[in-house]
Amino acid sequence: MLLSACPNAECRQRLTWKTRSIFKCGVCGQDLRQAPSTIIKTADQKILQILPDLLSAREGLADRARAIFPSELASLPVRDLIDVVQMVGRSLLAASNHRSGSTGGDYPHAWIVGAENLANPDFIQSVMSGRRPVQYKRLTREVKRRLGGLSAAGSEALRKFLDPDYNLLPELSGKFVSVTSAAARLRVDRSTVRKLIVLGHLEVFGCASEAGKRRNRTLISLNSVAAIADDRASISSLSSTFKIPKAVLLNLIGMGVLEQLDHPAFPTIYSEVQLSALHAETLLSTMIDRIERRSQSVADGGRVSARALLDGLGGGDHLWANLLWKDLNDRLQHGLTKMPGAAFQLDTLMLHSGDAQAILDGGIDLSPEALARTTVIRLKDAEKSLAVCPRDVQALIRKGKLARCGAGVSEASVQAVAKQFISTRELGRLTSVNPFDVSLLARKRGLTRLWPRVGIWDRAAALAAFGDLVGPAD
């Protein structure tokens, strides 16, 4: 067998291709050429050959390798089939209290045991039939422990093969819900739940509803339902509850003040933005409670209408969002209050004359530029804006060029990077040069990258070096 870890007892690091020499460990420098490796027993070579055959591109070889497995499993994608074989092997070994013994810990026991027992499943099927109570209890315990490591397709195929009547299901019933229950929890109809299943957003398992009947039940993983349903509130519901316009809430999301939820199933179910309910409700409730408490202890004089002030500055939802953000972060000396006896809403908010004057004098900046400095955009949006890959975004964050804000980066730092730097992709587009050829051409013209393996160049230097290739501006 090939070595998978350094033989040096003080190192034992996994071997990778990131090394100065293939003959030496990349961590400690141990010479690997004389290191002992595990010898495969002659009796095991045939069953081990199935693994490379499954991965072979030769016509018919992979099909013949699949044919040794039960039909319920043979139709799985090759990655899932390999995972199932390994998982069955590990479960059987654990159930039998197997120890590596003289063959060593690197010996492929799991594959050998799994492949042998699935190629000739008499033993494993006799155990699952319940005729061997002790072994049944041990094996089912180990299988259930490892089912979560398989894909949905692999898990269901193995269940159909090992446990067609789903005798294991009663012990796992708390982890699954019916289509009707899932629809109620998601507050959608059953047809939408079935659409989510087809799109792969809900993990499902099919089983017979009762022994001997053909009608099947679709059971849905409770975890996959909870991932969509839990801690979620629509922007409309929050707007209605807290009397804050949706446009203002959207600006607060853009600033990173409120946390927007992102799940691939949301476009299928919901037509508007979804937020973390716990985070949004806690934050907005805290803000309103502070305003209420301040309003009870301030004098009526020396206060001006926040609405009148902002309208005088040109109005706009971004001004309201920035004002609320500054109040939340104690950037206002006296803080927001509301009209005496009035319910909370933006039209009832009041500002101390000192804070109002500071806003008018520019000491407290509510301009769109100030909003941009506090606006947070997603990493994916930063990648798209700068025409770079995820690795380059992470490098710019590490270099301090992009300012990390929560789960995203500040919009202002993205704008600053775009002015100072240019990506390989953008440079290729401007010069009509294939991005894969930009680096070679840059070297010929004396231009070097700012950082190794990062597709970012100094904008001014790049445009000067490629000036003859840059087309006229649109």
Each residue's pLDDT, cut to its tens digit, for the chain (474 residues) gives 567 778 887 887 777 766 677 788 878 888 888 777 777 788 888 888 888 888 887 767 888 888 888 888 888 888 888 888 888 888 888 877 655 444 455 678 888 888 888 888 877 777 776 666 677 777 777 777 777 777 877 877 887 777 665 555 434 444 677 888 888 888 888 888 888 888 778 877 654 444 444 445 677 878 788 878 777 888 888 999 998 988 888 878 777 778 777 777 777 787 788 888 878 888 888 888 888 888 887 766 678 888 888 888 777 777 888 888 888 777 788 888 888 778 888 888 988 888 888 888 877 766 655 555 556 677 888 888 899 988 888 888 777 788 766 567 777 788 888 988 999 889 888 888 887 888 888 888 888 888 877 889 999 888 888 888 876 544
Please list, in sequence order, all residues whose beta carbon lies within 8 angstroms of the beta carbon of residue 29, skipping any fewer than 6 positions away: none
Same domain, 24 and 126: no
Q: Is residue 152 part of a domain?
A: no
Q: Are 244 and 124 part of one and the same domain?
A: no
Same domain, 456 and 368: no
- Whole-angstrom Cα distance, residue 171 to residue 167? 9
Which residue, of 373, 393, 410, is where some domain finishes?
373
Q: Are 11 and 54 part of one and the same domain?
A: no
Residues 248 and 237 both lie in one domain: yes
pLDDT of residue 341: 78
Domain membership of residue 189 (yes or no) is no
Q: How many CA atoms lie within 13 A of 235 on its CB side?
A: 18
CB 390, CB 382: distance < 8 Å? no
Residue 182 lies in a domain: no
> Quick check: 63 and 78 in contact, CB under 8 A?
no
Q: Are residues 352 and 256 in the same domain?
A: yes
Residue at 208 is within a domain = no
Burial class (CB in 10 A: 0-12, 13-18, 19+), 225: buried
Asked whether residue 452 is assigned to any structural domain, the reply reads yes
Query: Do residue 248 and residue 341 come from a single domain?
Result: yes
Are 75 and 21 found together in one domain? no
Handedness of CA 41, 43, 45, 47 (dihedral sign): negative
Query: Do residues 240 and 128 both lie within one domain?
Result: no
**What is the rounded CA–CA span in Å between residue 54 and residue 252?**
53
Of the residues 132, 151, 166, which one is the last residue of a structural domain?
Answer: 132
Q: For the chain, how many structural domains are there in total? A: 4
Looking at residue 404, its pLDDT comes to 66
pTM of the predicted model, to two decimals?
0.43
Kindly state whether residues 28 and 76 are assigned to the same domain: no
> Does a structural domain hold residue 225?
no
Same domain, 383 and 365: no
pLDDT score recorded for residue 205: 66
Q: Do 163 and 91 contact (CB within 8 A), yes or no?
A: no
312 and 262 in a common domain:
yes
Quick count: other Cβ atoms within 10 Å of Cβ 377?
Answer: 19
pLDDT number for residue 2: 65
Q: For position 101, what pLDDT does the model report?
A: 45
Q: Is residue 220 part of a domain?
A: no
- Does some domain include residue 173? no
Identify the domain containing residue 80 by its residue range: 43-132
